[in-house]
Structure 1
């Protein structure tokens, strides 16, 4: 151990790397540990253990001078890890919204907190604040309102009376699916649902809390853009101008996602950086025309201040989402560095932006937005700071054509590296990713950055004097080209890769390896390629479940031997079926189980035999909730290895291996079954005692 410690000390003392970014990694690691650990005693024990490690290292440091680097790193890392756990735990306790116990129908006297227009889905979405009739506690509810009831008077601050059908926020429908319950917990939603009947306006916004003027400006700007530009280009132009994605059709969303261009629809680093950079350059050039100011003030400082204000305004206008805030913080730091004459692009800058975001929203660490945003920026900064690439981009005597070729090659390489960095993250969260994203982004990013966004800004400016029509026509043509790229790329054979639920351990190994590659310097950084390669192979070899059951048991997907997905219910295009296809990693058209030749189906049950690794599995699946003679049901269960039902089955039903009836599913949630490994994966296994997960068993226990 002493020899290992000496080697670590020598390595830390001689390594030429910034320590600061690793503190950001440790802080994020502490937040991630809180999500991975399941119970309060585990969180407390981990914090206590880390503090003891820091105290022991401090005591050892006082007794000797050697190993100072190792001991300092141990103290800092332990305390920052503990701080991350404590921060996210405290935030969960302070703002976590207790979900309602069960589905209910309520008459609410509420105040509108937020409004989001979603014309592509024929609805608007409201966040309402109302006091519970029983305990008097104020709660927030997110409800959908049909578009024909979307009165313009329904805005932030208005008091309304509505009847609403409410449900507790939904946990993942199957293992690995989107966890809306966790997001709702940190967003403060106690329930979601839909409005039933008319909405009565009781009091205008002036009598309530706040006008929500930023949201109103955002809506007016979005409506103005869509009024000036019709169709899909208008919807995307509204997104670029205001961050409002509600008018983008599902077909265009899917095409952009499968082409790897979804980031262009999420206001993030690309858009904020373009706004700030353009403002900085324009302000600098215009201010230089004012001789009096030029002789008395450092223009880069004034231009940087103007650009920072423009970035902050754009961030607020577009909703202040995590990627936008991160980009705004990073861009302001870049402006500060430029004004002070310092290096603008550095890993330390990325670390400061990450810590700032995590201090405000620690829960964002486990979301795809934070991970993809920082992974992309980290890849760009690390790539451009690497010595071979700095030398490749260094100025030299050459023709304009060669200079353009070098920069185009670097742009393509940057896009390729970003795709490599983002691919595991996208597959981990969404289970599908566009393979040709690097090629699509090579054309789409310059198009949006240097053509579409400047034209949108020009069109809005010219609208002030009523001359914006020609500019809007050009905007429409440029966005038509963007959509053409998206649809062409997404339609190519093999354009989409599907992946089942990936092991968390494999993702952690990949992240650690990628961080080592990005944050270390010199040849030592190449050691990070080993865990990246191991994790990539691990993810690639991850098997898909043979049977997937949704949390209510009504939808079941079975992978057939010929690579098709057999579904219990033919609900084409439904959210449940979409998740079944993605988790099973089967992209073909699903086949209804009743139409499959290998299944025998009656009105009440389907039975089939599945062969895996030389073993036959007899599966019995309920199709209805009609009463069945118990003795016949018990006999059928005895002949089956697995029984699946969305009803409560009697105790006399005893299959040979698994009974996944309503009692089991209410306790465990959505379930994936791996027959070759004889393994069962459930939603409950990954939830622990975090506040947002409320299985039926725990709800009953709490009410007794």
Structure 2
């Protein structure tokens, strides 16, 4: 056993570098895991000290890996801390209304015609300059409204602080937009008035992006036009919700996010076209490095695609990966390798550490790592490689190899990303393999090449035929998605999983993928353990939303009974996290729940009596009969003392602590968990004063 381990360690020594991004990610995760804001100076100092200590230790084989590992963790922690300080900006403390003046950074139009705009405020209401958020997001639902990116506009709006999680441990939107320097969200009362026209290169690019998207939507039309525009410009707001739901249920939602797949198809098409064109000139093909020239042109094309697609974070990651690939070609290095993927991950984690928390980062790198590791096998490459000779006799084998490769790719990528998708979205696309097998050939062979051709022909007004073919391919993809989504159980919901289950699964997958020797198969054990622990997350017995407007109680049947169907967003999220397919309206009809004008009472045999009072008198009346009293109004100290309930929560408790959950343990004790407790004392968390 010891000899086997020594052999594996020695044989896989050249793959230690592949663990560098994993260790950096560990440091980033540690920064976000603590419940206080670490000192930036201390974080940078620790990284500097470990870097200096590593210099003399790097030549000592016994301690060099440990020193390098500690340095990577410290670098990740310091990078996250530094990034948080760099994006820091004012955040609105309370809802406010007034005149908003600012420069339009970006704008998208939804399927209903609503404009979603990001502005850099110059003034708002009565706020001082130092109190202005660096950016705000405004929804404009007025039909006569129009916005040009880069323009300075003025409008009346109501802005609010970014919303808190709808349940303890839930998705923290405020943390996400903190790293976008977004300090307020809201809606407009009036149509924007343009004060200054757009100017600058950025404004020109954004305008070009908008014109390309409008052209594609106009020529193709319908849902296919909206999806086609999203594949080129990244503007997904116009895609109908039903279409997005079908794509998600069919396992094709990844097609909508411009990421590695799109960048590879676009850049790869440019590379193939340029190289094929140059190869037609024998003098160039025989005497010059046309492969390197094609890689340089493809890199330029991928950069243009990045610019017109809006340069979203996922697209930036994809560009970094494909840029490394084309640079590797120009340097006569292997284009696709785990080393290049590791370099891309390192760059992204040090540049945008917050990306680690997003499903997009996790799923894209999980898929790429798994696929490259899988296709490293000589046996797999032999099964999926096409014959070198071209001819009708070899056509069946070519088709078979393509189909087998597509099946392997779908299975491996689906397995690598399935747990991550289930953790973040509580969904599993059961028939994702069928959806991808039927639709992805259309995307790879028809849609993306025609998108490239349409962009090349668009300046000359000759893009109509290419867009028609592209739209036909997208229509085919949507038909496949709708058919697969209609199958029974296509889109399965799963309840929340504990974080340690995901971490075990991911660690096991990395161990399996990053090593080459037989000890890699030890990674199967933590993967199986993580899957076994997937359903071990504690269930909330009572949930109360952050605005004291909604509550839910878990009944004897294990399902949540809602006190009302609204606020709809909170109710939908509670049911989704519980793996419950019912609608809020259905979950609000429970025989154990009785509601009237004064509030609600939940009674079930063997369960605590829970009441939700809408007035002070109703709350005091409930104190005599309930185990848990939730008051939608403030309660005085004296009223609390006189209340006979075991747990009393009023409006101010929820206002200060955010969404609250109660769990009854086996001893009958009540465990109270709040969003504020789970989020900690971080810069994106607003601390509200006690009254």
TM-score, normalised to structure 2, is 0.90
Q: Residue 595 of structure 2 aligns with which residue?
A: 601
Query: C-alpha deviations, 1:35-68, integer Å up to 9, x for none?
Result: 0012235888788778888888888x59xx9xx4
Task: Give yes or no for contact 2:43–2:81 (8 Å, CA) kept in 1.
Answer: no
1:161 aligns with 2:158: no
Q: Residue 287 of structure 1 aligns with which residue?
A: 278
1:18 aligns with 2:15: yes
Q: Residue 671 of structure 1 aligns with which residue?
A: 660
- 1:294-373 aligned at under 5 Å gives the runs 294-373=285-364
Q: Secondary structure at the match of 1:540?
A: coil
* Aligned mates of 2:302, 2:646 — CA distance in 1: 59
Aligned counterpart for 2:506 among listed residues 507, 511, 525? 511
Task: Mark the CA change 1:19 to 1:259 in structure 2 (over 3 Å): closer, same or farther.
Answer: same
Aligned counterpart for 1:234 among listed residues 225, 229, 235? 225
Task: Give yes or no for contact 1:435–1:495 (8 Å, CA) kept in 2.
Answer: yes
* Aligned mates of 1:445, 1:395 — CA distance in 2: 19
Task: Mark the CA change 1:595 to 1:33 in structure 2 (over 3 Å): closer, same or farther.
Answer: closer
Which blocks of at least 5 consecutive residues in structure 1 are unaligned?
none
Aligned counterpart for 2:523 among listed residues 507, 528, 532? 528
Q: Residue 88 of structure 1 aligns with which residue?
A: 80
Aligned counterpart for 1:448 among listed residues 443, 452, 455? 443
- Superposed displacement of residue 255, structure 1: 1.5
| Deviates further, 679-688 or 263-272 | 679-688
1:185 aligns with 2:178: yes
Aligned counterpart for 1:106 among listed residues 98, 104, 114? 98
Task: Give yes or no for contact 2:251–2:436 (8 Å, CA) kept in 1.
Answer: yes
Task: Give yes or no for contact 2:270–2:298 (8 Å, CA) kept in 1.
Answer: yes
Q: Residue 252 of structure 1 aligns with which residue?
A: 243
Task: Give yes or no for contact 1:411–1:442 (8 Å, CA) kept in 2.
Answer: yes
* Aligned mates of 1:350, 1:690 — CA distance in 2: 32
Task: Give yes or no for contact 2:370–2:416 (8 Å, CA) kept in 1.
Answer: yes
* Aligned mates of 1:618, 1:494 — CA distance in 2: 36
- Superposed displacement of residue 163, structure 1: 1.4
* Aligned mates of 1:161, 1:218 — CA distance in 2: 23
Task: Give yes or no for contact 2:139–2:188 (8 Å, CA) kept in 1.
Answer: yes
Task: Give yes or no for contact 1:644–1:659 (8 Å, CA) kept in 2.
Answer: yes
- Superposed displacement of residue 15, structure 1: 2.9
Which blocks of at least 5 consecutive residues in structure 2 are unaligned?
none
- 1:204-219 aligned at under 5 Å gives the runs 204-206=197-199, 212-219=203-210
Q: Residue 24 of structure 2 aligns with which residue?
A: 27
Q: Residue 636 of structure 1 aligns with which residue?
A: 622
1:425 aligns with 2:411: no
Q: Residue 575 of structure 2 aligns with which residue?
A: 581
Query: C-alpha deviations, 1:418-473, integer Å up to 9, x for none?
Result: 11221221122222232221221122222111112223333454555555444433
1:78 aligns with 2:70: yes
- Superposed displacement of residue 635, structure 1: 4.8
Task: Mark the CA change 1:659 to 1:8 in structure 2 (over 3 Å): closer, same or farther.
Answer: farther
* Aligned mates of 1:55, 1:350 — CA distance in 2: 27
Task: Give yes or no for contact 1:51–1:78 (8 Å, CA) kept in 2.
Answer: no
Task: Mark the CA change 1:14 to 1:306 in structure 2 (over 3 Å): closer, same or farther.
Answer: closer
Task: Give yes or no for contact 2:249–2:491 (8 Å, CA) kept in 1.
Answer: yes
Q: Secondary structure at the match of 2:681?
A: coil
Task: Give yes or no for contact 1:272–1:327 (8 Å, CA) kept in 2.
Answer: yes
* Aligned mates of 1:25, 1:618 — CA distance in 2: 48
TM-score, normalised to structure 1, is 0.89
* Aligned mates of 2:461, 2:46 — CA distance in 1: 66
* Aligned mates of 1:335, 1:198 — CA distance in 2: 46
- Superposed displacement of residue 25, structure 1: 1.0
* Aligned mates of 2:154, 2:653 — CA distance in 1: 39
- Superposed displacement of residue 157, structure 1: 3.0
| Deviates further, 459-468 or 686-695 | 459-468
Task: Mark the CA change 1:162 to 1:468 in structure 2 (over 3 Å): closer, same or farther.
Answer: closer
* Aligned mates of 2:449, 2:228 — CA distance in 1: 11
1:545 aligns with 2:536: no
Task: Give yes or no for contact 2:174–2:684 (8 Å, CA) kept in 1.
Answer: yes
- Superposed displacement of residue 135, structure 1: 3.4
- Superposed displacement of residue 313, structure 1: 0.6
Query: C-alpha deviations, 1:8-56, integer Å up to 9, x for none?
Result: 8876434355122211111111111100012235888788778888888
Task: Give yes or no for contact 1:502–1:539 (8 Å, CA) kept in 2.
Answer: yes
* Aligned mates of 2:428, 2:588 — CA distance in 1: 31
Task: Mark the CA change 1:10 to 1:682 in structure 2 (over 3 Å): closer, same or farther.
Answer: farther
* Aligned mates of 2:332, 2:81 — CA distance in 1: 40
| Deviates further, 220-229 or 483-492 | 483-492
Query: C-alpha deviations, 1:563-609, integer Å up to 9, x for none?
Result: 6542222349x322221211222102345677432223221121122
Q: Residue 678 of structure 2 aligns with which residue?
A: 686
Task: Give yes or no for contact 1:280–1:304 (8 Å, CA) kept in 2.
Answer: yes
Task: Mark the CA change 1:332 to 1:303 in structure 2 (over 3 Å): closer, same or farther.
Answer: same
Task: Mark the CA change 1:533 to 1:121 in structure 2 (over 3 Å): closer, same or farther.
Answer: farther
